[in-house]
Amino acid sequence: MAVELKVPESGESITEVQIGAWLKKEGDYVRQDELIVEIETDKASMELPAPASGVLARVLKAAGQIARVGEVICIIDETVPTPKQDRAPSAGSATPGEKPAGASAAPTFVMPAARRVLAAAGVKAEDVVATGPGGRVLKEDALRHVEQPQAGPSVAPTVSKEPQPAPLVGRHEEAVPMTMLRRRIAERLVEAQHTAALLTTFNECDMSAVQAFRRQYGPAFEQKYGIRLGLMSFFVKAAIDALKLVPVINAEVRELAMPDGRLAPHIIYKNYYDIGVAVSTDHGLVVPVIRNAERLSFAEIERAIAELAARARQRQITVEELTGGTFTITNGGVFGSLLSTPIVNPPQSAILGLHAIQERPVVRDGQVVIRPMMYLALTYDHRLIDGRESVTFLKRVKECIEDPARMLIEI
């Protein structure tokens, strides 16, 4: 009996996906719930399992092609009996670079990082010794295979008396289709530039108090909660404090119907704070959302950021976790950015950009001293946020960071 694998619904606004890498090829035997193909939406990536055990009879959509939700992308023939499994080799029987006896000709699964290494080196995954759980090929396996010297016939070098011409340096181009996620990012950025009146204002803050706070309480915090006390939780808390002071920055412009039926822009104020934290992954920038962040403690915020970022990088993030934010924070400082003008993530009205911490001379009490300073940037939609509100917001964030106790007693 033939079983069809259809593109599942991945979100309310998602109508099509892009086929990623096929983890199995036609003729391979697959087991039910075994991952066989990657798909990419305009918000996230995911891997689809086999709906039944059998032979992958036909692949109807090749990697890179677009498929609509509900469309059949492959057919599995479940009439083929389950093949006998070779006995697994004992642990330690294989050394790096040597295939263990009885090993399968094809690995169960190749991790995305390993797949990129192998593709760049022109190496087949079947030639690599898999050491990951369930026979997965890890990035370390791929690097070990690529870097090890390849055995080959020994040929004595010949010495020519004729001068040899210098080799020409090759020049080439490579065309790589944009992923659905990258396309969507591009569309959203262009949309923000075309529909909003974007303006950026700047300030800087002294990070001395936060650094001292982390040095004093960081070890006890990590011992109690099992997670490191980072910088982002301070800025999430400070941003929420400033958003409460300037509610219009947590609002958005939305077209709604008037009593006469005409559509007109309205300002939608929100009394909740769903903070998006930008995460850079190997497949693009994604912004997981921390729901009701105003109700969370420092530890809960740090844990939420760590879990969402890990799932985003492993392509396990859900569409629901990437939508619905009211305000976004992005930290270009982790890559060394000193100053930038971030672009608003529609339909939000503002975004806070953090930058690298650098020791700079500043004046304190009439004296020039060296302090760890960070530039802050707030890009906002000038249609509903004026300069007074934007400057007030950044000034409040600065005050909270330079004196974290303010956030606790709300002054």
| Region(s) of the chain under CATH 2.40.50.100 | 2-82+96-147
pLDDT given for residue 179 in this prediction: 73
| Pairwise CA distance, residues 132 & 114, whole Å | 11
| First-residue to last-residue Cα distance in the chain | 69
| Pairwise CA distance, residues 55 & 25, whole Å | 10
Mind giving me the DSSP string for 219-259?
HHHHHHHSS---SHHHHHHHHHHHHHHSGGGG-EEEEEE-T
pLDDT given for residue 132 in this prediction: 66
* Full pLDDT tens readout for the chain, 411 residues: 788 899 888 766 678 888 888 888 888 899 888 888 888 877 677 788 898 888 898 898 888 888 888 899 999 988 877 776 544 444 444 444 444 444 444 444 676 667 777 777 777 777 788 776 556 677 777 778 877 765 544 455 555 556 666 655 667 787 777 777 777 778 877 888 888 899 999 999 999 999 999 999 999 999 999 999 999 999 999 999 999 999 999 999 998 988 888 999 899 999 999 999 999 887 778 899 999 999 999 999 999 999 999 988 887 888 788 888 999 999 999 999 999 999 998 899 999 999 999 999 999 999 999 999 999 999 999 999 999 999 999 999 999 999 998 887 777
pLDDT given for residue 319 in this prediction: 77
| Region(s) of the chain under CATH 3.30.559.10 | 193-409
pLDDT given for residue 105 in this prediction: 45
Instruction: Please say if 386 is a catalytic residue.
Output: yes
CATH number of 193-409: 3.30.559.10
H or E, element range at 358: strand 350-364
Q: CA nearest 289: which of 300, 276, 304? A: 276
Please report, as a single letter, which amino acid is at residue 162.
E
Cα three-residue angle 342-343-348, rounded to 5 degrees: 120
Instruction: Please say if 141 is a catalytic residue.
Output: no
Given the residues 28, 33, 86, 386, the one annotated as active site: 386
Cα three-residue angle 149-152-158, rounded to 5 degrees: 105
pLDDT given for residue 163 in this prediction: 63
**2-82+96-147, what's its fold?**
OB fold (Dihydrolipoamide Acetyltransferase, E2P) (2.40.50)
| Inter-residue contact 74 to 62 (CB < 8 Å) | no
H or E, element range at 205: strand 198-206
Buried b (16+ CB within 10 A) or exposed e, 89-105: eeeeebeeeeeeeebee
| Pairwise CA distance, residues 257 & 308, whole Å | 36
pLDDT given for residue 213 in this prediction: 93
Given the residues 33, 86, 382, 403, the one annotated as active site: 382
What are the residues facing 203 on neighbouring strands? 376
pLDDT given for residue 12 in this prediction: 61
The token pair that represents 245 in the structure block = 């002071």
